[in-house]
Amino acid sequence: MHRPTLDEVAALAGVGRGTVSRVINGSPQVSPEARAAVRKAIEELGYVPNRAARALVTRRTDSVALVVSESEERVFGEPFFAGIVRGVSSHLADTRMQLWLAMAQSSAERQLVERHLSDQHVDGVLLLSLHDDDPLPGLLASRGLPTVLGGRPAHMLSGVAHTLDTKDGHGLAFVDNDNEGGARTAVEHLLNLGRRGVAAIAGPQDMGVGKARLRGYREALLLAGHPDDERLIAYGDFSEASGAEAMYRLLHLNPGLDAVFAASDLMAAGAIRALREQGKRIPGDVAVVGFEDSAVARQTLPPLTTVHQSVEGMGREMARLLLARIAGGPAHSTVLDTHLVVRESA
């Protein structure tokens, strides 16, 4: 089957080969009339630019990577990751950028991903679900690849640092939700309901999101004059199973607890399941609040009171910041607002 050439597009459009090349590469140095003629010719002929050849000229691949440091089971099974992908994809839809998704949990997966993450393959990288010992941010910084982190690393929670230094001084940007403020609002809501034994199912403490939501829980108790009791805190990995296991531990140590704040909706759903299996009424005996406001929150029995965060909005903002970085802009970071959505569980 004949594949249309650049010369054929130029002949049909009545312009030179260089003009066609400039239109394809997005150059502003083309008249509107010539641009329209070239685009019409491309559409009529079904011309597809040779991406490899264009990359040699422009030094751009028109591809960005979304790298998630989790297993395929979690990435495709948990609503948070799907929401991020939807948000990123929606922002890139009107650009020529293509998105590729990689899971990098095992050492073998990480080696493959690390080899691929260079300016020969991608123009920029989005990193999601990072743990503190993850070497990828440093590696990408050393390669000078524009990078945006999904979530603030745990060591940056002081609020002083907003970027990670790189060799070119531009830094790595992040997009995060107000995890600390959202958690504080959730626990204040439980205290305002008259609950006094408020437990927490916290996320991993080697992740910024896990640390921030636990900090918000502790701040709310401190402001209300309640002691910080480690027996009221159990830890999960944001999954439903870990939420159920944590709830069993908390009930064993604190039979009289009357409320629980879970750092994710899935962990809250697991907590509700465990409470019901133990014969507890929700919210009569134990009130439950989650975090995310995913579809899961509307499917639990009773429906879950939770902190709303815009997951798709986070994905869109990550993509927006990355495109700005690719265009040569500075590494700005963004923290998105959260708010409480009250339903029947608390």
pLDDT tens-digit readout, 99-144: 888 877 666 777 777 777 776 678 889 998 888 777 788 888 788 8
Strands 147-150 and 98-103: unpaired
Going by pLDDT thresholds of 50, 70 and 90, the confidence category of residue 170 is very low
**Based on the domain organization, do 81 and 170 belong to the same domain?**
yes
**Based on the domain organization, do 200 and 304 belong to the same domain?**
yes
Whole-angstrom distance, CA of residue 266 vs CA of residue 202: 12
**Based on the domain organization, do 125 and 169 belong to the same domain?**
yes
Do 258 and 191 form a contact (C-beta atoms < 8 A)?
Answer: no
CATH of the domain at 119: 3.40.50.2300
**Based on the domain organization, do 294 and 323 belong to the same domain?**
no
pLDDT at 52 over 70: no
Going by pLDDT thresholds of 50, 70 and 90, the confidence category of residue 286 is very high
**Based on the domain organization, do 39 and 12 belong to the same domain?**
yes
Per the domain annotation, does 340 fall within a domain?
no
> What's the confidence (pLDDT) of residue 182?
97
Going by pLDDT thresholds of 50, 70 and 90, the confidence category of residue 165 is very low
pLDDT at 216 over 80: yes
Q: How many domains does the chain have?
A: 3
**Based on the domain organization, do 192 and 303 belong to the same domain?**
yes
pLDDT at 163 over 50: no
The residue range of the domain holding 10 is 6-58
**Based on the domain organization, do 74 and 158 belong to the same domain?**
yes
pLDDT at 164 over 50: no
* Single residue among 38, 58, 78 that ends a domain in this structure: 58
**Based on the domain organization, do 325 and 254 belong to the same domain?**
no
**Based on the domain organization, do 299 and 316 belong to the same domain?**
no
Per the domain annotation, does 129 fall within a domain?
yes
**Based on the domain organization, do 161 and 186 belong to the same domain?**
no
> What's the confidence (pLDDT) of residue 156?
65
As a whole number, the mean pLDDT across the chain is 86
Nearest 5°: phi and psi at 175?
A: -120, 125
Per the domain annotation, does 272 fall within a domain?
yes
**Based on the domain organization, do 276 and 317 belong to the same domain?**
no
